[in-house]
Amino acid sequence: MDRRFSCTACGKCCYGLVPLTIDDALAHADKYPLVVIWTPVRQGGRSFRITADLGITIEIKKHKRAAVQIAPTAYIPPTLPCPELSEDGLCRIHDAKPQRCRTMPFSAYRDENDQEDLTLPRPGWECDTSDAAPVVYGDKSILDRNDFEIERKQLVRDAAILKPYAEWLLDSVPSLRPELQKIAMKPSGGRVVVGFSTLIPRLPKVDIYAFARKQLPVMKTFAERTVGDPGLVDFHQRYVDGRTEWEKVARPNSGTRAGSV
Partner 1 sequence: MAQCPCGSGLDFDGCCGPILGGAPAPSPEALMRSRFTAFVRGDLDHIESTHAAEVRDTFNRSAAESTASSVEWVDLEICETSDGGEGDDIGTVEFRARFKKDGELMVHHEKSNFRREEGLWAYVDGKMNPKGKPRRVEKVGRNAPCPCGSGKKYKKCCGA
175 near partner 1, rule: CB under 8 A:
no
Compute CA distances 50 → 11, 41, 45, 68, 110, whole Å. 29, 10, 10, 10, 6
Crossing angle for the helix pair 146-172 and 176-185, to the nearest 10 degrees: 120
Q: How far is CA 158 from the centre of its chain?
A: 13
62 near partner 1, rule: CB under 8 A:
no
Query: In the set 10, 91, 200, 240, which binds partner 1 (CB under 8 A)?
Result: 200
Euclidean distance between CA atoms 150 and 157, whole angstroms: 11
Query: In the set 30, 59, 111, 207, which binds partner 1 (CB under 8 A)?
Result: 207
- In angstroms, what is the minimal distance from the CB of 70 to partner 1? 17
Give the DSSP letter of residue 116: G
Number of residues interacting with partner 1: please give it, by CB under 8 A.
24
User: Listing from the earlier edge strand, what are the strands of the sheet with 135-138?
Assistant: 3-4, 135-138, 141-142
Nearer to partner 1, 6 or 237 (CB): 237
**Which among 63-71, 90-98, 183-191, 201-209 is the span making contact with partner 1, rule CB under 8 A?**
201-209
- In angstroms, what is the minimal distance from the CB of 217 to partner 1? 18
229 near partner 1, rule: CB under 8 A:
no
- Classify 93 as helix, strand or coil: coil
Nearer to partner 1, 12 or 177 (CB): 177
Interface residues with partner 1 (CB under 8 A) are 168, 171-172, 174, 200-209, 248-249, 252, 255-261
